[in-house]
Amino acid sequence: MASIKPVVPALLVTAAFSENLSLINWGMEQMMRYLGPIALESEPFDFNQTSYYSKEMGPHLFKKLFAFADLVDPSKLADIKNMTNEIESTSHSTSLSEQPRPLNLDPGLLNLGKFMLATTKDQAHRIYLKDGIFAEVTLHFQDKEFVEWPWTYADYRTEHVKAFLKKARSFYKEKLKSIPPIEEYP
């Protein structure tokens, strides 16, 4: 029988998009209240790879990626996604946007081998976590690059996003050196 090993903490990476950059920053401030400081932040870029969100969020969306400084227990991904859903639902009260859905927050976890996203939508390649939340491996790391799957969203296929995730992976790799060695379960 194989021995069961404790899980290694992961790096929380969140993608935020909106028609309003101030609302993106507001959303990240809300997340920092619960999850601590942000270590890395991308420049905003046009989120124009799909028109899926146009009706409820507006036609010209900006997206930013953020990596948090503190590593997280991967088993908490569903809780984090439900928290971001709550932040999204309160974003109307900011009056920074008139759209039906002014903000979208997509948390994910990065480890040395992959980047995973949490979602409320089930598909054949997704695994149920809990409380209505699923997860998918969006990209895997192979030959020093992030590589997509057939189901990888178009924006996560871009070099801009992959470059940010490589930078986040380097940060994560250094951060792992500062945690105590992980012992096997007895």
pLDDT, tens only, 109-165: 999 999 999 999 999 999 999 999 999 999 999 999 999 999 999 999 999 999 999
The residue with tokens 């959303």 is 27
Distance CA 48, CA 59 (A): 9
Given this model, what pLDDT does residue 5 score? 81
Neighbours of 126 (CB within 10 A): 17
* Domains identified in the chain and CATH numbers: 11-176 (3.30.70)
What confidence category does residue 39 fall into, taking pLDDT thresholds of 50, 70 and 90?
very high
Given this model, what pLDDT does residue 117 score? 98
Cα within 13 Å of Cα(28), Cβ side: 26
Tokens of 88: 């999204």
Kindly tell me if the per-residue pLDDT of 186 is higher than 60.
no
H or E, element range at 26: helix 21-35
Kindly tell me if the per-residue pLDDT of 47 is higher than 60.
yes
Given this model, what pLDDT does residue 90 score? 92
Q: Are 140 and 162 in contact (CB under 8 A)?
A: no
